[in-house]
Structure 1
């Protein structure tokens, strides 16, 4: 399975969070040699404030990160699967804008790494099933 994972080309993912995910996936997949598959990921980030104070300011924020994952076989461009993966977290908003921004960035970084691990597990599951099917056929 590791040999098949190493044959996955990870397409560049825009923005800083995409760069973090891209690098983490490259490390986990141990990409080397000729690619047989392409992994494409699009990230979408949204926030929602809640826990409202009397002055109508939010005291907490919920961060949601959605990764739209497309896995393609390069010969013939056959799409093997497309899947949306979601991760969510919440953090407190404090009086210091700097601290709130740091919390938001740290939360987003943790979520993107969590999603990268889920993508890795999804690919490993696909290749495990493929090897099982090859062994039976």
Structure 2
């Protein structure tokens, strides 16, 4: 079946040409203004968030936006307020919970240098964990759930800001 390769190549070229004009653009390429989105994302200053989980969300966002390098200059400020809660699951007759769900709600505002709110939103994440007999195991399981939720919330906020900045900057 020697004729398969040229046929597949022709179909691939036709598909690429057909999709080129459909209006879809990569999210992390260039912005509508022609600048690189990575530079615009690096210009987002994440204000401090109280608590261990808040610091975790902030660190995740800073690392995702800058790649671990320093911030060159800030063009935007990102304010985030978090709310944590725990839901008991699989409650035994004795009243002890066999499992819990850690829920993290974050409300964020992207603010321009002029003080105007450019984007508002909310991100939520839930992470379940099992309860054990030993205290250390419970603390470790809760910390792991908090870290997973913080990572998910940070990623959600990052994608929303990237989508906004790709169209606005």
Q: TM-score, normalised by structure 2?
A: 0.72
- For 1:11, the equivalent position in structure 2 comes to 47
Q: For structure 1, which runs of at least 5 residues remain unmatched after alignment?
A: 132-137
- Structure 1 residue 40 and structure 2 residue 70: aligned? no
* Deviation per residue, 1:28-56 (Å, 9 max, x gap): 11162221110011111100112111212
Q: For structure 2, which runs of at least 5 residues remain unmatched after alignment?
A: 1-36
Q: By percentage of residues, which structure has more strand?
A: 1
1:85, distance to aligned residue in structure 2 (A): 0.8
- For 1:26, the equivalent position in structure 2 comes to 62
Q: TM-score, normalised by structure 1?
A: 0.88
- Structure 1 residue 67 and structure 2 residue 106: aligned? yes
Structure 1 segment 56-135 matched on structure 2, within 5 A: 56-75=95-114, 77-131=115-169
1:114, distance to aligned residue in structure 2 (A): 1.2
* Deviation per residue, 1:62-84 (Å, 9 max, x gap): 11000111111112x11012211
- For 2:90, the equivalent position in structure 1 comes to 51
SS at match of 2:80: strand
Rg comparison, structure with higher value? 2
SS at match of 1:109: helix
CA RMSD of aligned residues (A): 1.3
Rounded Cα–Cα distance in structure 2 between residues aligned with 1:23 and 1:128: 22
